[in-house]
Amino acid sequence: NAGVTQTPKFRVLKTGQSMTLLCAQDMNHEYMYWYRQDPGMGLRLIHYSVGEGTTAKGEVPDGYNVSRLKKQNFLLGLESAAPSQTSVYFCASSYMGTGGSTEAFFGQGTRLTVV
Amino acid sequence: AQSVTQLGSHVSVSEGALVLLRCNYSSSVPPYLFWYVQYPNQGLQLLLKYTTGATLVKGINGFEAEFKKSETSFHLTKPSAHMSDAAEYFCAVSVLNSGYSTLTFGKGTMLLVSP
Protein backbone atom coordinates (compact mmCIF):
# COMPACT_ATOMS: atom_id res chain seq x y z
CA ASN A 1 0.00 0.00 0.00
CA ALA A 2 1.97 3.01 -1.30
CA GLY A 3 -0.39 5.80 -0.12
CA VAL A 4 0.63 9.08 -1.75
CA THR A 5 3.63 9.00 -4.07
CA GLN A 6 5.35 12.05 -5.50
CA THR A 7 7.66 12.10 -8.50
CA PRO A 8 10.41 13.30 -8.67
CA LYS A 9 11.89 13.66 -5.20
CA PHE A 10 14.50 16.23 -6.20
CA ARG A 11 14.88 18.55 -9.16
CA VAL A 12 17.02 21.50 -10.17
CA LEU A 13 15.64 23.82 -12.84
CA LYS A 14 17.02 26.84 -14.59
CA THR A 15 14.96 30.03 -14.57
CA GLY A 16 12.39 29.91 -17.34
CA GLN A 17 12.31 26.13 -17.67
CA SER A 18 9.10 24.20 -17.25
CA MET A 19 8.35 21.00 -15.39
CA THR A 20 5.53 18.87 -14.07
CA LEU A 21 5.33 17.29 -10.63
CA LEU A 22 3.30 14.10 -10.42
CA CYS A 23 1.27 12.97 -7.45
CA ALA A 24 -0.37 9.57 -7.36
CA GLN A 25 -2.60 8.10 -4.65
CA ASP A 26 -3.93 4.57 -4.38
CA MET A 27 -6.56 5.14 -1.68
CA ASN A 28 -9.41 6.10 -4.01
CA HIS A 29 -9.56 9.56 -2.43
CA GLU A 30 -11.73 12.26 -3.97
CA TYR A 31 -9.75 15.25 -2.71
CA MET A 32 -6.16 16.06 -3.61
CA TYR A 33 -4.01 19.04 -2.70
CA TRP A 34 -0.71 20.67 -3.58
CA TYR A 35 1.14 22.62 -0.88
CA ARG A 36 4.47 24.36 -0.82
CA GLN A 37 6.62 24.52 2.30
CA ASP A 38 9.07 27.36 2.88
CA PRO A 39 11.15 28.00 6.02
CA GLY A 40 9.17 29.92 8.61
CA MET A 41 6.05 29.92 6.44
CA GLY A 42 4.50 26.57 7.19
CA LEU A 43 2.58 24.90 4.39
CA ARG A 44 0.58 27.01 1.98
CA LEU A 45 -2.08 25.64 -0.34
CA ILE A 46 -1.37 26.13 -4.04
CA HIS A 47 -4.27 24.33 -5.74
CA TYR A 48 -6.63 21.57 -4.86
CA SER A 49 -9.09 19.23 -6.51
CA VAL A 50 -12.40 17.90 -5.22
CA GLY A 51 -12.75 15.24 -7.86
CA GLU A 52 -11.67 14.03 -11.28
CA GLY A 53 -11.73 16.87 -13.79
CA THR A 54 -12.14 19.64 -11.19
CA THR A 55 -9.52 21.97 -9.75
CA ALA A 56 -9.55 25.15 -7.69
CA LYS A 57 -7.10 27.81 -6.56
CA GLY A 58 -5.66 27.88 -3.09
CA GLU A 59 -3.76 30.56 -1.21
CA VAL A 60 -0.73 30.91 -3.55
CA PRO A 61 -1.75 29.77 -7.07
CA ASP A 62 0.20 32.25 -9.21
CA GLY A 63 2.79 30.68 -11.49
CA TYR A 64 1.31 27.18 -11.18
CA ASN A 65 -1.23 25.14 -13.10
CA VAL A 66 -2.78 21.80 -12.22
CA SER A 67 -4.73 19.02 -13.85
CA ARG A 68 -6.71 16.04 -12.55
CA LEU A 69 -7.48 13.92 -15.59
CA LYS A 70 -7.58 10.72 -13.57
CA LYS A 71 -8.90 10.34 -10.05
CA GLN A 72 -5.65 8.90 -8.74
CA ASN A 73 -3.33 11.52 -10.23
CA PHE A 74 -2.88 15.22 -9.58
CA LEU A 75 -0.28 17.09 -11.63
CA LEU A 76 1.35 20.38 -10.71
CA GLY A 77 2.94 22.34 -13.54
CA LEU A 78 5.38 25.22 -13.59
CA GLU A 79 5.32 26.83 -17.05
CA SER A 80 8.25 29.22 -16.52
CA ALA A 81 10.13 28.54 -13.31
CA ALA A 82 11.34 31.43 -11.15
CA PRO A 83 13.76 31.41 -8.21
CA SER A 84 10.83 32.33 -5.93
CA GLN A 85 9.42 28.88 -6.68
CA THR A 86 12.34 27.19 -4.96
CA SER A 87 10.56 25.22 -2.28
CA VAL A 88 9.54 21.80 -1.03
CA TYR A 89 6.28 20.71 -2.59
CA PHE A 90 3.89 18.34 -0.87
CA CYS A 91 0.94 16.55 -2.31
CA ALA A 92 -1.85 15.27 -0.07
CA SER A 93 -5.12 13.45 -0.49
CA SER A 94 -8.22 12.86 1.59
CA TYR A 95 -11.39 10.83 1.22
CA MET A 96 -13.54 13.90 1.64
CA GLY A 97 -12.73 17.48 2.54
CA THR A 98 -10.71 17.93 5.70
CA GLY A 99 -13.69 19.13 7.69
CA GLY A 100 -14.92 16.66 10.23
CA SER A 101 -13.05 13.45 10.77
CA THR A 102 -11.36 13.26 7.41
CA GLU A 103 -7.56 12.95 7.57
CA ALA A 104 -5.23 14.22 4.87
CA PHE A 105 -2.40 11.88 3.86
CA PHE A 106 0.84 13.41 2.63
CA GLY A 107 3.50 12.36 0.18
CA GLN A 108 7.23 12.52 0.92
CA GLY A 109 7.73 15.82 -0.84
CA THR A 110 9.60 17.14 -3.89
CA ARG A 111 12.53 19.44 -3.28
CA LEU A 112 12.73 21.90 -6.17
CA THR A 113 15.53 24.38 -6.68
CA VAL A 114 15.32 27.05 -9.37
CA VAL A 115 18.65 28.66 -10.25
CA ALA B 1 -11.15 33.96 7.82
CA GLN B 2 -9.86 31.09 9.87
CA SER B 3 -6.18 31.01 10.80
CA VAL B 4 -3.69 29.39 13.13
CA THR B 5 -0.89 30.91 15.21
CA GLN B 6 1.86 28.79 16.67
CA LEU B 7 3.82 30.49 19.42
CA GLY B 8 7.53 29.84 19.18
CA SER B 9 9.31 28.71 16.04
CA HIS B 10 11.66 26.60 18.16
CA VAL B 11 11.15 24.85 21.50
CA SER B 12 13.99 23.11 23.32
CA VAL B 13 13.47 20.54 26.07
CA SER B 14 15.57 17.96 27.83
CA GLU B 15 14.81 14.29 27.46
CA GLY B 16 12.18 13.35 30.04
CA ALA B 17 10.84 16.89 30.40
CA LEU B 18 7.33 18.07 29.61
CA VAL B 19 6.64 19.08 26.05
CA LEU B 20 4.25 22.00 25.46
CA LEU B 21 3.68 23.35 21.96
CA ARG B 22 1.23 26.22 21.71
CA CYS B 23 -1.44 26.77 19.08
CA ASN B 24 -4.16 29.40 18.94
CA TYR B 25 -6.78 29.61 16.26
CA SER B 26 -9.23 32.15 15.00
CA SER B 27 -12.53 30.89 13.73
CA SER B 28 -16.02 32.27 13.51
CA VAL B 29 -17.50 28.78 13.59
CA PRO B 30 -16.64 25.64 15.58
CA PRO B 31 -13.32 24.55 14.18
CA TYR B 32 -11.84 21.22 13.28
CA LEU B 33 -8.25 21.21 14.56
CA PHE B 34 -5.28 19.02 13.80
CA TRP B 35 -1.68 18.49 14.84
CA TYR B 36 0.73 17.05 12.30
CA VAL B 37 4.36 16.01 12.80
CA GLN B 38 7.12 16.15 10.20
CA TYR B 39 10.30 14.17 10.75
CA PRO B 40 13.41 15.25 8.80
CA ASN B 41 13.08 14.77 5.05
CA GLN B 42 9.64 13.22 5.35
CA GLY B 43 6.05 14.17 4.70
CA LEU B 44 3.53 15.14 7.36
CA GLN B 45 1.91 12.57 9.60
CA LEU B 46 -1.26 13.10 11.61
CA LEU B 47 -0.69 13.13 15.39
CA LEU B 48 -4.24 13.85 16.52
CA LYS B 49 -7.38 15.75 15.64
CA TYR B 50 -10.33 17.44 17.31
CA THR B 51 -13.69 17.39 15.59
CA THR B 52 -16.47 17.28 18.17
CA GLY B 53 -17.05 15.71 21.57
CA ALA B 54 -14.33 15.23 24.18
CA THR B 55 -12.08 18.26 24.39
CA LEU B 56 -9.02 16.27 25.49
CA VAL B 57 -7.75 14.40 22.48
CA LYS B 58 -5.17 11.63 22.64
CA GLY B 59 -2.89 10.93 19.73
CA ILE B 60 -0.02 8.73 18.73
CA ASN B 61 3.34 8.50 20.53
CA GLY B 62 1.93 9.71 23.85
CA PHE B 63 0.87 13.16 22.65
CA GLU B 64 -2.39 14.80 23.60
CA ALA B 65 -4.06 18.16 23.05
CA GLU B 66 -6.88 20.00 24.73
CA PHE B 67 -9.41 22.11 22.88
CA LYS B 68 -10.25 25.20 24.92
CA LYS B 69 -12.92 27.24 23.23
CA SER B 70 -12.78 30.09 25.77
CA GLU B 71 -9.06 30.53 25.06
CA THR B 72 -9.26 29.62 21.34
CA SER B 73 -6.36 27.27 21.97
CA PHE B 74 -5.33 23.75 21.03
CA HIS B 75 -1.99 23.22 22.75
CA LEU B 76 -0.05 19.98 22.25
CA THR B 77 1.54 18.25 25.24
CA LYS B 78 3.53 15.17 26.13
CA PRO B 79 4.49 14.40 29.74
CA SER B 80 7.98 13.11 29.00
CA ALA B 81 10.01 13.96 25.91
CA HIS B 82 11.97 11.33 24.05
CA MET B 83 14.85 11.91 21.68
CA SER B 84 12.72 10.47 18.88
CA ASP B 85 10.20 13.32 19.34
CA ALA B 86 12.61 15.79 17.74
CA ALA B 87 10.72 17.00 14.68
CA GLU B 88 8.68 19.91 13.36
CA TYR B 89 5.09 20.14 14.52
CA PHE B 90 2.28 21.87 12.68
CA CYS B 91 -1.09 22.93 13.99
CA ALA B 92 -3.82 23.17 11.36
CA VAL B 93 -7.45 24.21 11.13
CA SER B 94 -9.95 23.04 8.56
CA VAL B 95 -11.42 25.97 6.67
CA LEU B 96 -14.17 26.32 4.11
CA ASN B 97 -12.80 27.34 0.73
CA SER B 98 -15.40 28.03 -1.96
CA GLY B 99 -17.72 25.54 -0.32
CA TYR B 100 -15.07 22.87 0.23
CA SER B 101 -12.92 22.31 3.29
CA THR B 102 -9.14 22.49 3.16
CA LEU B 103 -6.38 22.68 5.77
CA THR B 104 -4.71 25.93 6.81
CA PHE B 105 -1.44 25.40 8.64
CA GLY B 106 0.46 27.34 11.23
CA LYS B 107 4.08 28.19 10.55
CA GLY B 108 5.37 25.26 12.55
CA THR B 109 7.35 24.70 15.73
CA MET B 110 10.63 22.83 15.68
CA LEU B 111 11.02 20.66 18.78
CA LEU B 112 14.61 20.07 19.86
CA VAL B 113 15.29 17.38 22.47
CA SER B 114 18.62 17.27 24.26
CA PRO B 115 19.97 14.34 26.26
A80 C-beta neighbours (distance < 10 Å), count: 11
Closest CA of chain B from A94, distance in Å: 10
Interface with A, mutate which of B38, B103, B109, B110 (most A CBs under 10 A): B103
Give the per-residue pLDDT at A106.
94
Q: Is A39 on the interface with B (CB under 8 A)?
A: no
Which of B94 and A101 is assigned the larger pLDDT? B94
- Backbone conformation region of residue A107, classed left if phi is above 0, alpha if psi is from -120 to 50, else beta: beta
Band (pLDDT 50/70/90 cuts) for residue A99 is: low
Contact B74, B91 (CB under 8 A): yes
Contact at 8 Å (CB) between B57 and B79?
A: no
Smallest CA–CA distance from B97 into chain A, residue: A58
pLDDT band at A101; cut points 50, 70, 90: low
- Rounded to an integer, what distance in angstroms lies between the CA atom of residue A89 and that of residue A110? 5
Please write the tens of the pLDDT for every residue from B72-102.
Answer: 999 999 999 999 999 999 999 987 766 778 8
Decide if B102 and A98 are in contact by the 8 Å CB cutoff.
yes
Query: In which band, very low, low, confident or very high, does the pLDDT at B51 lie, cut at 50, 70 and 90?
Result: confident
Enumerate residues 37 to 56 of chain B having a beta carbon within 8 A of any beta carbon in chain A: 41-46, 49, 51
Counts for chain B of helices (H) and strands (E), in that order? 0, 11
pLDDT at A19 over 80: yes
Whether residues B42 and A109 touch (CB distance < 8 A) is answered with yes
Which of A58, A90, A109 is nearest residue B102 as measured by Cβ atoms? Answer: A58
Q: Say if residues B77 and B90 touch (Cβ distance below 8 Å).
A: no
Partner-chain contact B98 A56, CB within 8 Å: yes
Amino acid B72: pLDDT: 92
Tens of pLDDT along A36-85? Answer: 999 889 999 999 999 999 999 999 999 999 999 999 999 999 999 999 99
